[in-house]
Chain A
Amino acid sequence: MRKAAAGGDEEAPLQNGSSGRRRAEPQPVEGDDRNSSPGGLQDEYDDNDLGRRREIRSKYRDLINSVQQNREDMLSPSNNRLTEVLDEADKLFQDVRQAREAVLDAHLLVVTTDLGKEKASQLISEGSAFDSTVFAEHLLSFMGLNRLEDEDDEPPNGGAGDGYLPKDAWHRLARRAECCFRTAPSFHYMMGSFYAEPPPPKQRLERQKKAPSKEAKRIMPTQLKKMEESQEEATEKEVERILGHLKSYYQEDPSTPISYYEFVIDPNSFSRTVENIFHTSFLIRDGLARLYLDEDDKLPYIEQVEEVEEEARSSVSRKQCLVSISQKTWRVSSF
């Protein structure tokens, strides 16, 4: 029954469209409809307003949806929504003239009957009923819910959307609920959970080596320092060497701008190229050279910064840029 109704739902818009188009034809097409209606009804209300029918169907579907979606809240004994839904359906049914609407009415009836049955099953004949919505409210209070101030505009489902629970809320509940459980305590241990094994000997050797070698420790850093120093010196020398080249190129031909890439690329060695880029960057960082983009070819050019200029430049704003080069681009650009 539900399946048929659901199928009808899907077909509905399509049928609407097609029947609308076919309406001009003399033959009553709705006769081949699966939900064929009795001929008498059809004749009598042949000029039935299609728009009104669509509206009725849409209202039925809304009702069905609302029942399905709010099922749990509607089950609550304090909830009257089921009665309201049935009232609305009664009103709608007064205008139902054709089978397609009647099918939807039947479908709604199925859904509400199912709900009613479950609602009834909760109302155990004698004694008070149990309302899970009320239960949830009491639990929230027990767990120490911090309710937000504007309780007036609470939604009908008990304001479950407001407020927040403290961090120990579930511990609080657990502590009280514990006595309902006859849970056996369990036994936990560490010893015996893994294979007994002495620590790896390797580690002990390392330790023994390390222990008496305080001297070695002291020596190591100085060695490292020396290496660092020499590294620094090498860089400095390289930077100076490159600055020398830049200056000599400039002196050779002060009118021709020096292309940055021509300057740094070593066509025979990628690694030299990378080193050149690295060392040139120091020149720029230290304000001994500057890079600029040519307005015509948009390529970077490098030029020496005059000593006089140097001081004035130091206040000029600096920019950073990344230069990336791969083996591939190097190969392309070195030809």
Chain B
Amino acid sequence: MTERKRLSNSQISSQSKRPSSSFVAQEEDEDAMLTQPSTSQVQKGLEKLSPAQVDQKTAEVVQYILVKDQKKVPIRRADLVKNIVKDYRTVYPEIIKRASRIFEQVFGLKLVEIDPKNHLYILVNNLDTPPSNPSPVEHPSNPKTGLLFVILGVIFMKGGVVRDKLVWNILKKLRVDSGLKHDEFGDVRKLVTDEFVRQRYLEYNRVAHTEPVEYEFRWGQRADMEVSKAKILEFMAELHDQDPRSWTQQYKEANPTHTSSQASSSSHR
């Protein structure tokens, strides 16, 4: 973060009543506090505040999440509390509930908590994309979406986990060399193993007991929430000019509700 922004951040945190003697301790504290407010506590807290105050705090939370979502990196609950919620932490559950409602009702977005251990939030689209009726106004496309499709697609088709070498190998065939600077993606290795991982599109872990060390990719939590396996499979089928049901296992996974009926129909083929 840049100097000035850091400054304004520290201003914000210094406004909170508790002295920030130990940064980490305070964060943990705040996180711990959050799990505590019970329904009755929240009720009590709300009584002390005017509806306008709660509304304003809610709007600030929405604004903060929108700003933080620009980079698509999940928002930590601890940061949200420290920077925005501050003295309202006793009514935090109510505020996050209202913020979620605004995202749904006004923006058509869904505020999702991923990673229940670290309490991270992301925004996902709550509206279905209608391929039959695409937007009449052309908008700029993001080439990174194409790159993500390739990697997530391979992981999915390979049963949920692939060695990193396989990914680099495919990308190389697509003229994206992980060792070179790419026109569109810059430092590809960094983009894939750092940015996509921080955004939680991908998980990138060392494979145990490998010598030399090897790594593997899996879908990250954002991908789980944001990416449709059925749509991926559909596009795969289109690319291969093949029936999506011919990949039985993947088809079952992508369409869990239809499993029984579709499986029987595929067995007829």
Contact = CB atoms under 8 A, between A and B. Distances in A.
B239 A174 contact: no
A171 B146 contact: yes
B175 A164 contact: yes
Contact of B231 (A124, A126, A179): A179
Q: How many interface residues does chain A have, given as a range? A: 35 or more
Residue among B141, B159, B166 with most chain A CB within 10 A? B141
Interface stretch (A48-56, A137-145, A211-219, A316-324): A137-145
A188 interface: yes
Residue among B149, B154, B228 with most chain A CB within 10 A? B149
Contact of A181 (B70, B145, B185, B246): B145
A334 B142 CA distance: 70
Contacts of A183: 72, 124-125, 145, 226
Interface in A158-180: 158, 160, 164-165, 169-180
Given A170-B146, A170-B147, A182-B124, A139 B239 contact: yes
Contact of B109 (A160, A175, A184): A184
For the residues of B in contact with A, the DSSP-based class is helix
B166 A182 contact: no
Nearest to B184: A170
Contact of B169 (A128, A132, A138, A164): A132
B166 A75 contact: yes
Interface in B142-183: 142-150, 153-154, 157-159, 163, 165-166, 169-170, 172-175
Q: How many interface residues does chain B have, given as a range? A: 35 or more
Residue among B146, B172, B184, B249 with most chain A CB within 10 A? B146
Nearest to A122: B158
Given A179-B131, A181-B145, A187 B170 contact: no
Nearest to A159: B173
A228 interface: no
Interface of B: 4, 66-67, 69-70, 72, 107, 109, 123-126, 129, 131, 141-150, 153-154, 157-159, 163, 165-166, 169-170, 172-175, 184-185, 211, 225-228, 231-232, 235-236, 239-240, 242, 246-251
